Amino acid sequence: MPEEYLKYLQSLNDRQREASCYDISVPLMIVAGPGSGKTSTMVGRVFMLLNEGISPSNILAMTFTTAAASEMRDRIGAVAGKATAKELTISTFHSFSLQLCRSHAEKLGRTSEFLIYGHGQQRKATIEAVRLLENEKSRQNHNACILGEGSNSITSLQHLKDKSRKWLKFVTKAKASGRTPEECRQMGDDIGAVVLGNYNDILKSCNALDYHDLISCSVKLLTDFPEVFKECRDLWKAMVIDEFQDTSSMQYNLLRILASHNHITIVGDDDQSIFSFNGADISGFDSFRKDFPNYKEIRLNKNYRSTRCIVEAASSLIQNNINRCQLKDVITDNSSGSKITIKECHNEDSQCAFVVDKILETASNGSAASCSYGNIAILYRRQVSGKVFQMAFRERKVPFNIHGVAFYRKKVVKAIIAMLRTALPACDDAPYRQVFKALLPFEKEEKKRVIDHIDKISTIRKCSFVSAASDIFSAKISGTFKRSQLTQGRKVLSTLEIVSKLVHREQSISAVITSVANMVPQKYLLEQRAIVDVDGGKLLNEDNDIRSVLQYLLDDVSEFLSTKFIAAEGASKTVAEEKGCVIVLKAFIDFISERERENFHSRRHNNENSVTLTTIHQSKGLEWDVVFIVKANESEIPLLHEFNGISKENGTLIEEERRLLYVAMTRARKRLFILYVMMDSNWQMLQPSRFLKEIPDHLREVQAEVSIQDLQTKQEHIPIETMEFSIDLPREKELSKVDMVPDDFLKSSNYKASEEWKEPVEASNGNGFLRRFSVEDR
Residues 6+ apart with CB under 8 A from 487: none
Q: Tell me which long-range contacts 285-290 makes (C-beta under 8 A, separation of at least 24).
A: 285/29, 285/31, 285/244, 285/245, 285/325, 285/326, 286/325, 287/249, 287/252, 287/256, 288/27, 288/29, 288/244, 288/252, 289/29
| Residue 357 host element (H or E) | helix 348-364
Per CB under 5 A, the segment of 19-27, 37-45, 335-343, 762-770 that binds Mg ion is 37-45
482 three-class SS: coil
Least distance to Mg ion, CB of residue 94, Å: 19
Residues 214-253 that bind Mg ion (CB under 5 A): none
**Residue 32 labelled as part of a binding site:** yes
Q: How many angstroms separate the CA atoms of 16 and 45, rounded?
A: 10
Quote the CA–CA distance of 236 and 571 in Å, as a whole number.
Answer: 64
Residue 38 or 411 with smaller CB distance to Mg ion: 38
- Contact region with ligand ATP (CB under 6 A), list: 10-18, 545-553, 608-616, 757-765: 10-18
CB of 158 to Mg ion, least distance (A): 48
Cβ 268 to Mg ion, closest distance in Å?
Answer: 9
- 618's contact among ligand ATP, Mg ion, none, with CB below 5 to 8 A by partner kind, is none
The answer to whether 719 is a known ligand-binding residue is no
Smallest distance, ligand ATP to C-beta of residue 671, A: 15
- Out of Mg ion, ligand ATP, none, what residue 181 binds, judged by CB under 5 to 8 A for its kind, is none
Q: How far apart are CA 328 and CA 432, in angstroms?
A: 59
**Euclidean distance between CA atoms 620 and 65, whole angstroms:** 8
The closest alpha carbon to 19, from 1, 3, 38, belongs to 38
User: 81-117 b/e with 16+ CB inside 10 Å = b?
Assistant: eeebbeebbbbbbbbbbbebbbebbeebebeeebbbb
Between residues 14 and 716, which has the closer beta carbon with respect to ligand ATP?
14
Q: Which of ligand ATP, Mg ion, none lies near 602, with the C-beta cut-off 5 to 8 A by kind?
A: none
Task: State how far the Cα of 202 lies from the Cα of 132, in Å rounded to an integer.
Answer: 10
DSSP 657-709: HHHHHHHHHTTEEEEEEEEEESB-TT--B-PBPGGGGGS-GGGEEEE----HH
For residue 293, cis peptide bond before it (omega within 30 degrees of 0)? no
Q: Which residues in 11-50 contact ligand ATP (CB under 6 A)?
A: 12-13, 16, 32, 34-40
- 16, 39, 216, 278: which one binds Mg ion (CB under 5 A): 39
Q: Which residues 6+ apart lie within 8 Å of 429 measured at CB?
A: 458, 464, 465, 466
Least separation in angstroms between CB 11 and ligand ATP: 6
Question: Looking at beta carbons only, is 13 or 207 nearer to ligand ATP?
Answer: 13
> CA-CA distance, 125 to 141, in Å (whole number)?
25
Q: Name the residue type at position 229.
A: F
Cβ distance to ligand ATP smaller for residue 39 or 633? 39
Cα–Cα distance, 255 to 504 (Å, whole number): 57
Identify residues 215-234 at the interface with ligand ATP (CB under 6 A): none
Is 271 or 506 the residue whose CB approaches ligand ATP more closely?
271
| 304 contact choice in Mg ion, ligand ATP, none (CB below 5 to 8 Å, kind-dependent) | ligand ATP
CB of 41 to ligand ATP, least distance (A): 7
**Considering only residues 359-398, where is the footprint of ligand ATP by CB under 6 A?**
none
Mask: binding to ligand ATP, 647-686, rule CB under 6 A, as x and -? Answer: -------------------x--------------------
CB atoms within 10 A of CB 594: 13
Site for ligand ATP in 63-102 (CB under 6 A): none
Q: Closest CB to ligand ATP among 451 and 661?
A: 661
> Binding site annotation covers 35?
yes
CB-CB contact of 758 with 771 (8 Å): yes
Between CA 241 and CA 91 the distance in angstroms is 10
Q: How far is the CB of 29 from ligand ATP (least distance, A)?
A: 14
Q: Of 34 and 386, which CB lies nearer to Mg ion in the complex structure?
A: 34
Mask of contacts with Mg ion, 612-651, x by CB under 5 A?
Answer: ---------x------------------------------
Kindly state the smallest distance separating residue 82's Cβ from ligand ATP, in Å. Answer: 19
- Give the 3-state secondary structure percentages of the chain, helix then strand then coil, rounded to 5: 55, 15, 30
What's the number of CA atoms in the CB half-sphere (13 Å) around residue 251? 31
- Residue 197 interacting entry, from Mg ion, ligand ATP, none, C-beta within 5 to 8 Å by type: none
User: Which listed option, ligand ATP, Mg ion, none, makes contact with residue 305 (CB within 5 to 8 Å by class)?
Assistant: ligand ATP
- Longest CA span, the chain: 90
Contacts (CB under 6 A) with ligand ATP, residues 235-264: none
Q: Centre a 10 Å sphere on the Cβ of residue 541 and count the other Cβ atoms it contains.
A: 17
489's contact among ligand ATP, Mg ion, none, with CB below 5 to 8 A by partner kind, is: none
Minimum distance, C-beta of residue 623 to ligand ATP, in the bound complex (Å): 6
Q: Per the annotation, does 651 bind a ligand? A: no
Q: What is the four-CA torsion angle of 93, 50, 608, 669, rounded to 10 degrees?
A: 80
Cβ 330 to Mg ion, closest distance in Å?
14
755 DSSP 8-state letter? S
First to last CA, the chain: 63
Within positions 268 to 327, which residues make up the interface with ligand ATP, using CB under 6 A?
Answer: 269, 272, 304-305
Of the candidate spans 9-17, 224-232, 287-295, 671-679, the one that interacts with ligand ATP by CB under 6 A turns out to be 9-17
**Rounded-to-integer distance, Cα 19 and Cα 299, Å:** 9
Taking the complex as a whole, how short is the minimal distance between the CB of residue 272 and ligand ATP, in angstroms?
Answer: 6
Q: Is 38 annotated as a binding residue?
A: yes
The amino acid at 683? W
Nearer to ligand ATP, 195 or 664 (CB): 664
Judge whether 33 is annotated as a binding position.
Answer: yes
Residues 6+ apart with CB under 8 A from 21: 9, 44, 48
For 33-186, where are the E strands, in sequence order?
59-63, 89-92, 115-117
Q: Which does 16 bind (CB under 5 to 8 A by kind): ligand ATP, Mg ion, none?
A: ligand ATP
- CA–CA distance, 458 with 442 (Å, rounded to integer): 21
Residue closest to ligand ATP (Cβ): 37
Under rule CB under 5 A, which residues in 113-132 are in contact with Mg ion?
none
Size of the site for ligand ATP (CB under 6 A): 18
Minimal distance in Å, beta carbon 44 to ligand ATP?
A: 9
CB 176 within 8 A of CB 250: yes
Q: How far is the CB of 660 from ligand ATP (least distance, A)?
A: 13
Q: Which stretch in 8-16, 341-349, 400-408, 496-504 sits in contact with ligand ATP by CB under 6 A?
A: 8-16
AA identity, residue 52: E
Site for ligand ATP contains 621 (CB under 6 A): yes
Site residues, ligand ATP (CB under 6 A)? 12-13, 16, 32, 34-40, 269, 272, 304-305, 621, 623, 666
Binding residues: 32-39
Site residues, Mg ion (CB under 5 A)? 38-39, 621
Binding residues for ATP: 32-39
